[in-house]
Amino acid sequence: MRSLRPVILAAAGTAALLFAAGPAAGEDRPPVTVVDSLGRTVTVPGRVARILSLEPEVTRIVVALGAGDRLVGIDHFLRFNDHLFPLVFPAGASLPLVSNPAQDLSVEEALRLRPDVVFASPSESRLTGSVERKLRVPVVALASMGRFSGLLEEIRTLGRILDREARAGELIARFEETLRGLPGPAPEAEGPGRPTVYLAFWNSLVRTPVAYDPVDAAGGRNVAAGTAADYAGSPGVTVSLEKLLLWDPEVILVQGNYPPSDRRVTVEAVLRDPRLASLRAVRTGRVHYTFGYWYWWDPALALVETVYLARLFRPGTDPGFDLAAFGDGVFKDFYGVEGAFSALCRRLDCHAWTRE
């Protein structure tokens, strides 16, 4: 692996400048028209001062763009279930809560907050139209759905909406530069050297994403790629054990983005499961944790996970590489905070498996 340390140092020198910039006060700006992830054409005001995001991935990107001070509310997931967001945006703890555990929006609270724009998930297409009618403000549905192209376009779109295009360009350049430094075959290559990979996500052995670009970019091949999702707007599919046995992956990745006490699927359980004993991944001990996502990414963590997987698929590559230091550098570049990745690993107890 080409060393990633210079990337950390070069980007860190610009972090303070990137976070200091913001929209110039008093400037008029024409409305911005975008096409969202549902294919809808949406026009938003040229000046967006009050943001209500119901989509955690969007909320994180808003913060990474340096516009976290424009957030006027927070959803239930980020307030109570996310282990990372409090580390990168402590101010979120004081934002009004706008949804319940089922992620249902409190329309009364949303009206009180007077947002200029609302961001929603494309997986809740009916909610998008309902919120737009009730609040009478533009609603933009955005999500990457496990695709880097979608994630980078999402960053670009939010940069346009929030008048933070320069910062969006910096984040995209950081992302692409790191991907170019990864070892192994190009994502579109076939044949030897690209291990077949099955992902057990969302605390289920039989739920798996139909697209997960960190695997492809790291030199693997997702066995579920091309499979139809369970429903429109879903990133995943439920498969049978027979299908998993037929795929016979060389590597199994278990989502580890939970504290150990909350994990219903574990590496140890997969290795001990007699139903899976014939799988190549089980027979060779190539069952590992990875970070994964809950239908939405943290953009910095997606980048760190890709570098982790590239090393996992090719043991011994760049043996002096320090993933914790690299991850802390990425999170500083994205969020301007120190030690966030190391702190996340302590919360998830993942230092052991990220050092494999």
- Domain borders along the chain are 11-178, 189-354
Distance of CA 165 to CAs 36, 142, 234, 333, Å?
17, 17, 29, 16
- Whether the per-residue pLDDT at 280 is higher than 90: the answer is yes
Residues 6+ apart with CB under 8 A from 153: none
Flag whether pLDDT at 21 surpasses 70: no
Give the chain's mean pLDDT: 89
Q: pTM of the prediction?
A: 0.88
Least confident of 51-55, 105-109, 292-296: 292-296
Higher pLDDT, 316 or 331: 331
pLDDT given at position 43: 97
Per-residue model confidence (pLDDT) at position 316 = 78
Pick the CATH number of 11-178 from 3.30.70.100, 3.40.50.300, 3.40.50.1980, 3.30.930.10: 3.40.50.1980
If you search the block for the tokens 């282990």, which residue do you land on?
A: 83
Residues 256-281, mean pLDDT to the nearest whole number: 95
In single-letter form, the type of residue at position 20 comes to A
Q: Which residues contact 356 (CB under 8 A, 6 or more apart)?
A: 288, 312
pLDDT at 183: 74
Region 223-236 average pLDDT: 89
User: Which stretch of 170-174, 177-181, 192-196 has the lowest confidence by average pLDDT?
Assistant: 192-196
* Residue 192 confidence class, pLDDT cut points 50, 70, 90: low
Per-residue pLDDT at 345 exceeds 60: yes
Confidence at 319, pLDDT banded by 50, 70, 90: confident
Residue 192 in tokens: 């030897």
Over residues 22-67, the pLDDT tens digits come to 444 445 899 999 999 999 999 999 999 999 999 999 999 999 999 9
Separation of alpha carbons 162 and 217, rounded Å: 29
Is there a contact between 160 and 32 (Cβ–Cβ < 8 Å)? Answer: yes
Give CATH for domain 189-354.
Answer: 3.40.50.1980
Same topology between domain 11-178 and domain 189-354: yes
